Chains A and B, each alone.
With several copies, the nearest count.
Chain A
Amino acid sequence: MQMVTSHIESDGAETNMNLYEWEAKRIFADWGISVPQSIRITREEELSKVNFDFPLTIKCQVLSGGRGKAGGIQFAKDLKEAQSLVGKLMAMTIGGSKTESLLIEPKVAIKHEMYLSVTMDRARGCPVYIAAKEGGIEIESNKSIITEPIPYPFQPYVARNLAKKMGLSGALLNKVASIAERLYKLFDQLDLDLAEINPLVITQSDEVIALDGKIIVNDDALGRQKMFDGWQEKHMADLPERERKAKKQGLNLVELDGNIGIICNGAGLTMATMDMVKNFGGNPGNFLDAGGGSDQEKTLAAIELVNENPNVKVILLNILGGITACDEVAHALVEFMKKNPKRSMVVRLRGNNQDKAEKMLADSGLKLFPDLENAVKEAVSKSKVAV
């Protein structure tokens, strides 16, 4: 049996809240989708809680993919073998993600593996089932893959149409349709970006169960999904420290390996500024979108975050004031420069209240660029000066 760890990449997969397998399976069970019996442990002694038959499957609980290939899934034919595995597996870091715990299940006797997920289809503008009767291989390159858009309001026949399209029949068609119905309902009710069962297996006793599960919760919905209150912190454990900090402040930071810290308002403009820095021979040290309507406080927080990155030699602040007023940004700059008078900065300010901002910054020693290209060129040149 080949364990499958690949999955459909959902939009925003890397920043929206990714759940551990054991959490996903608890949710599946709550919604009536069968999962194997299991216990979750972090220490060897807890193996005494195993109340099902050997052999066991022991799986590292990590947020990253590629677990199977990395050796994060092992089998134990008896207690002794299990004991010898616990410590090793708990110590593993897979794809930058530390093992949080181990999920222990009886090794399931598999007759057949399938794939089933619900995600949002950006092209169609609605949720979509993605499924394959033949699972067990890399799903993105799977030729038997089929999709079925899910209209609103939902009725269960859509799940039956899916099962039919998968090529199923008889009792199996009804079982898979029932699981697909539940999977959509939890996807919808819990505001998920992805609800994935891979593999969905038919056991030797003809049950259909979710052998592995992946759930990604949409961040924008966390304010109304009370069951996930307090979960976010824990699920950001694998993020670099400053990116985590940014997220908590509502800023969008992606750290890169260059030395020009880039702060803009608006994602498109931030990317465009990065692109220009690169085109003019510079090297972006980060992407930081301070958001469309960022005020003084948020702008200051953004500058300070980038300032903390030791690789950054020069900060390029590019604000085109639409919602963001230039004077709010100027306030933040004045405050920051008071504390960090030696920080090398290039500031491009244009738009709403540009005059006010210019006046406020007149004594700061900062040269203001109304034109983006000139600002970028200046930042690139400053980044190349030896400190």
Chain B
Amino acid sequence: MIFVNKNTKVLVQGATGKMGAAHTKRMIAYGTQVVGGVTPGKGGTLVPDTKIKVYDTVKEAKDATGATCSVLFVPPYLALDAGVEAIEAGISLLVVITEGIPPQDTAKLVSYARLKGIRMIGPNCPGVITPGETLLGILPGMIFKPGPVGMVSRSGTLTYEIALALTDADQGQSTCVGIGGDPVKGMEYPEVLTAFNNDNDTEVIVLIGEIGGNAEEEAAQFVKQNVNKPVVAYIAGQTAPPGKRMGHAGAIISGGKGTAESKMQAMREAGIEVALTPSEVAEKVKKLRTQLVKK
């Protein structure tokens, strides 16, 4: 497992909002050590329907609880401020769930995170789960199960679909990291791939990509040079028309670049197995693991 485990102490920024409160409850139900919420002006209250204390500032919450991670559910225009607050308070992993943050703000937040050497996942991401241990974000915990498959993805629900296929095929997961669908983001594939490559609990890596940009091409190159575990990839948007943004801000084929075909080609050239459907991902993972056992 990477980044998070059952000992990870987690703050939730924006825990008293509708979405923040709902997912705080779900995280607690999953077993996540949520140690505090942060909402300015609501300090001293509890996150609705929980026993989790709300603090006014991250600094106060961190001092009181020893949290090392923060999950952000704050509204998009407040996310830069809240993220920097967490970074400056000494948080070492920031998971930004918020969708719709203007790219200028994201770029600034990323520059702060890099400067301080902080891990930042997202924005516009489902979060990270180490099945059976902890869940930070909005992933539906019940479709995951512990196992040796490391998952990294730009997508949300598509990740769930593939996790479901893996779980149904009895291929449990070590950790699943949703890096988010925005063009500018904190964590890119290589950082997650490196972590999985060094993780004893991970045997096979599943990389889920989509059209737009060239992150998948770069990830393929990275895998070729730095990853010695088998990788199975799935790329969404094989039939997407060029020039149209497919939901995610990042999912657009621009000037003939960023097609699924180009990405799948790069993956294959890097020795990565490319699946065409979610269930094929599970099949390929299963086959690769059998081969590993034989070796």
B126 interfacial by beta-carbon distance below 8 Å: yes
Most B-side CB within 10 Å, residue of A10, A12, A267, A289: A267
B195 interfacial by beta-carbon distance below 8 Å: no
Binds A, one of B4-12, B73-81, B222-230: B73-81
Question: Using Cβ atoms and an 8 Å threshold, which residues of chain B touch A277?
Answer: 239
A268 and B249 contact, CB distance less than 8 A: no
Chain A residues engaging chain B, CB cutoff 8 angstroms:
9-15, 120, 122-123, 125-127, 140, 151-153, 155-157, 160-161, 163-164, 169-171, 173-174, 177, 188, 191, 193, 218, 220-221, 223-224, 252, 254, 256, 264-272, 274-279, 284, 287, 289, 292-293, 320-323, 350-352, 372-373
Q: A169-B56, A174-B40 are in contact. Are A268 and B181 (CB under 8 A)?
A: yes
Closest Cβ of chain B: how far from A284's Cβ, in Å?
A: 7
User: Which residue of A13, A266, A284 is within 8 Å of B156 (Cβ)?
Assistant: A266
Which residue in chain B gives the minimum CB-CB distance to A319?
Answer: B157
A selection of 23 A-B contacts at a CB cut-off of 8 Å is: A10-B254, A12-B245, A13-B243, A13-B252, A125-B107, A157-B81, A157-B88, A164-B57, A170-B41, A173-B56, A174-B40, A220-B102, A266-B155, A266-B156, A266-B247, A268-B157, A269-B155, A271-B210, A272-B234, A279-B277, A292-B157, A321-B140, A322-B126
Q: Give the residues from 221 to 265 in chain B that come closer than 8 angstroms, CB to CB, to chain A.
A: 234, 236-241, 243-252, 254-255, 260
Question: Using Cβ atoms and an 8 Å threshold, which residues of chain A touch B100?
Answer: 220
A266 and B82 contact, CB distance less than 8 A: no
Q: A268-B236, A275-B236, A289-B247 are in contact. Are A155 and B156 (CB under 8 A)?
A: no
Which residue in chain B gives the minimum CB-CB distance to A258?
Answer: B239
Closest Cβ of chain B: how far from A13's Cβ, in Å?
A: 7
Closest Cβ of chain B: how far from A150's Cβ, in Å?
A: 9
B252 and A14 contact, CB distance less than 8 A: yes
Q: A11-B252, A173-B43 are in contact. Are A287 and B247 (CB under 8 A)?
A: yes
Question: Using Cβ atoms and an 8 Å threshold, which residues of chain A touch B126?
Answer: 292, 322
Told that A224-B102, A320-B164 touch, could you supply 20 new A-B pairs with CB distance under 8 A? A14-B243, A127-B104, A140-B255, A156-B81, A173-B40, A174-B40, A174-B41, A218-B103, A221-B104, A254-B241, A267-B181, A267-B251, A268-B158, A269-B157, A271-B239, A274-B237, A277-B239, A287-B244, A322-B140, A323-B138
B104 and A269 contact, CB distance less than 8 A: no
B159 interfacial by beta-carbon distance below 8 Å: yes
Q: A151-B88, A224-B77 are in contact. Are A274 and B278 (CB under 8 A)?
A: no
Closest Cβ of chain A: how far from B241's Cβ, in Å?
A: 7
Bound Cα distance from A33 to B59, whole angstroms: 26
Question: Using Cβ atoms and an 8 Å threshold, which residues of chain B touch A177?
Answer: 40
Question: Using Cβ atoms and an 8 Å threshold, which residues of chain A touch B161?
Answer: 269, 272, 320, 372
B164 and A271 contact, CB distance less than 8 A: no
Question: Using Cβ atoms and an 8 Å threshold, which residues of chain A touch B266?
Answer: none
Bound Cα distance from A269 to B143, whole angstroms: 16
Closest Cβ of chain B: how far from A297's Cβ, in Å?
A: 15
The 6 A-B pairs with the shortest beta carbon distances in the complex, nearest first, are A267-B247, A268-B155, A266-B157, A268-B158, A157-B85, A289-B247
Question: Using Cβ atoms and an 8 Å threshold, which residues of chain B touch A267?
Answer: 155, 181, 210, 246-248, 251
B213 and A11 contact, CB distance less than 8 A: yes
User: Which residue of B88, B154, B184, B214 is within 8 Å of A125 (Cβ)?
Assistant: B184
Question: Using Cβ atoms and an 8 Å threshold, which residues of chain A touch B159?
Answer: 268
Bound Cα distance from A251 to B41, whole angstroms: 33
Which residue in chain A gives the minimum CB-CB distance to B141?
Answer: A322
Question: Using Cβ atoms and an 8 Å threshold, which residues of chain A touch B57?
Answer: 157, 160-161, 164
Bound Cα distance from A284 to B243, whole angstroms: 17
A157 and B84 contact, CB distance less than 8 A: yes
Bound Cα distance from A223 to B103, whole angstroms: 14
B276 interfacial by beta-carbon distance below 8 Å: yes
